[in-house]
Amino acid sequence: MKKIIIGLLYLFSLTTNAQEMNKIQERINALFVAADQHDWEEVEQCFSKTVILDYTSMTGQPAAKLSPKQIVESWRSILPGFQYTHHQTGNFIIEEEGGRAEVYCYGTAFHYLENDNDHMWTVVGSYDFDLEKETDTWTISKMKFNFKFQNGNPNLPQMAIQRLTTNETPISAGQRNKNLVRQFFKSLENKDLETLIGLFAKDGKHINPYHSGLFPKGANGIDEIRSYWTPVFPGFDQMQFPIEELYAMEDPTRVYVKYKGVIKLKDDAGYYENEYYSTFKFNAKGKIVEYVEIFNPITAAKGFGLLDKIK
């Protein structure tokens, strides 16, 4: 009888473990299905209260600790711009113990957008997930993508963002303007001067209220803005501007953003880093009429060896 009981308990543990494994895999699959279907409420529910999101291997940007709402804001700024996306996962390896799980799986993402050139952009890699069990529900607390390769049209993501910002898809003015802010920083990171200049209205303004006599006060009008940014890109090896907060205000023509600047200096001279707050004001056509850049002038002066000249 004792052996029978032990055997039954063993079978029960195996069954329970298999059920948990299924729930974990179903949660990850549900995340990608919801993202493809733009079911943002379901996407949020798949995540824990805070999530470590890591796409460093693909983007070069460091991992970030985000809320589910912040992740949704980022994903909805690009995925609806494609006509179709299809995320496929497989080859799951799951380790679960004590209400925590680690998952490894393959991942392939197909993105389709009809245009004059190649319609497809495909990204292939694998994922590392951490999950935690809250009551009877598994949620994702870490999501790391391990990039292997991509093929197809690498310009398709930018085209998808542009499709959203030009009202080819039904979004609010506030969401459109937030997408334009993301495009602004992506243009800086890509050193894409023409796209950057094209975001401004002809009478647009760039204002640096904390220039402190060391840095340009800003620029008025499209020609001055071009002259302001033209010498910037050749002066640095790389620029990254990870966004921490991004909000459309009650007046949707105004957008607030908090972000960091991580800039690699030329000739392996190190990095210049600062924290920024900016406001953008857009006109009805979605062009920037005012960009205000607020940064710590003391940090900037130290970074460029100008501290003794600050005013």
Per-residue pLDDT of 118-145, as tens digits, reads 899 999 999 999 999 988 899 999 999 9
pLDDT confidence tier of residue 233, bands split at 50, 70 and 90: confident
| Confidence at residue 168, expressed as pLDDT on a 0 to 100 scale | 59
Q: Report the C-alpha gap between 242 and 252 in whole angstroms.
A: 22
| Confidence at residue 211, expressed as pLDDT on a 0 to 100 scale | 79
pLDDT confidence tier of residue 12, bands split at 50, 70 and 90: very low
Give the pTM: 0.59
| Confidence at residue 73, expressed as pLDDT on a 0 to 100 scale | 86
pLDDT (average), residues 97-115: 93
- pLDDT tops 50 at residue 237: yes
| Confidence at residue 141, expressed as pLDDT on a 0 to 100 scale | 97
Give the strands of the sheet with 137-152, arranged side by side: 64-66, 47-54, 137-152, 120-134, 100-112, 84-97
| Tokens standing for residue 238 | 């790389």
| Tokens standing for residue 58 | 């693909």
Q: Report the C-alpha gap between 277 and 291 in whole angstroms.
A: 11
| Confidence at residue 176, expressed as pLDDT on a 0 to 100 scale | 84
| Confidence at residue 205, expressed as pLDDT on a 0 to 100 scale | 96
Percent share of the chain, pLDDT over 70? 90
Q: Which residue has better confidence, 79 or 5?
A: 79
| Tokens standing for residue 276 | 């920024």
| Confidence at residue 133, expressed as pLDDT on a 0 to 100 scale | 93
pLDDT (average), residues 66-70: 91
| Confidence at residue 250, expressed as pLDDT on a 0 to 100 scale | 87
CA angle 47, 50, 54 (to 5 degrees): 80
Per-chain mean pLDDT for the chain? 87
pLDDT confidence tier of residue 5, bands split at 50, 70 and 90: very low
- pLDDT tops 70 at residue 267: yes
Q: Which residue has better confidence, 149 or 263?
A: 149
Q: Report the C-alpha gap between 271 and 265 in whole angstroms.
A: 6
pLDDT (average), residues 102-127: 92
Q: Report the C-alpha gap between 79 and 157 in whole angstroms.
A: 9
- pLDDT tops 70 at residue 86: yes
Per-residue pLDDT of 183-226, as tens digits, reads 899 889 888 899 899 999 999 999 999 877 777 889 999 999 99
Q: Which residue has better confidence, 209 or 13?
A: 209
Per-residue pLDDT of 41-55, as tens digits, reads 999 999 999 999 999
Task: Locate all alpha helices (DSSP H) within the chain, ordered by sequence.
Answer: 2-37, 40-46, 56-59, 68-75, 156-165, 173-189, 193-198, 222-229, 297-303
